[in-house]
């Protein structure tokens, strides 16, 4: 089994449509779940979310060797992909065949593919002991 995207890219914009097909499906497959997911990887707990899914029943949709099983998702506005020192958030489309639970995945970035860099040691070297940026709370704004 494999996933083929109509317009394969490594990066997609929020709100963009992503289309493709699941190909080379084994005759023993009873159903296929095609999912738009994001997941984190790195230090700490791993997060995983299914944003949308399409269930395909090969018995209802006769197998076509050239076209496969089509799917389409509209990408959400967030969360955006990022790559940090401790954690990374990645988007993917995955297909899971049942009952075997065989799966395939195509990974991509949503948004600009932000890379987070830890600059705390550099900041300390030039005399900053606190974070360079802070978010002001409503209570701190009232005191001004």
Domains and CATH numbers, the chain: 2-118 (2.60.40.1930)
The pLDDT value recorded for residue 45 is 86
The pLDDT of residue 62: 56
Residue pLDDT tens, the chain, 144 long: 999 999 998 999 999 999 999 998 888 889 999 999 999 999 888 999 999 999 998 777 655 545 789 999 999 999 998 888 888 999 999 999 999 999 999 999 998 756 656 666 666 676 766 655 443 334 434 444
Looking at residue 65, what is its pLDDT? 47
Polymer length of the chain: 144
Check residue 112 and give its pLDDT.
73
What pLDDT score was predicted for residue 133? 46
Predicted confidence at residue 86, as pLDDT, reads 87
CA distances from 104 to 74, 85, 92, 119 (A): 20, 27, 10, 37
State residue 40's pLDDT score. Answer: 95
- Looking at the whole model, is its pTM more than 0.85? no
């Amino acid at each position: 089994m494999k996933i083929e995207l109509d317009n394969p890219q490594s990066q997609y914009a929020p709100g963009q449509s992503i289309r493709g097909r699941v190909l080379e499906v084994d005759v023993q497959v009873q159903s296929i779940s095609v999912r738009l997911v994001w997941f984190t990887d790195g230090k700490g707990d791993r997060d995983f979310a299914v944003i949308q899914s399409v269930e395909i029943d090969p018995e209802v949709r006769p197998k076509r060797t050239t076209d496969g099983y089509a799917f389409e998702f509209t990408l959400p506005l967030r969360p955006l992909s990022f790559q940090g020192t401790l954690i990374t958030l990645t988007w993917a489309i995955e297909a899971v065949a049942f009952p075997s639970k065989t799966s395939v995945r195509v990974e991509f970035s949503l948004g600009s593919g932000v890379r987070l860099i830890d600059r705390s040691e550099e900041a300390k070297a030039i005399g900053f002991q606190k974070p360079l940026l802070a978010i002001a709370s409503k209570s701190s704004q009232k005191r001004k």
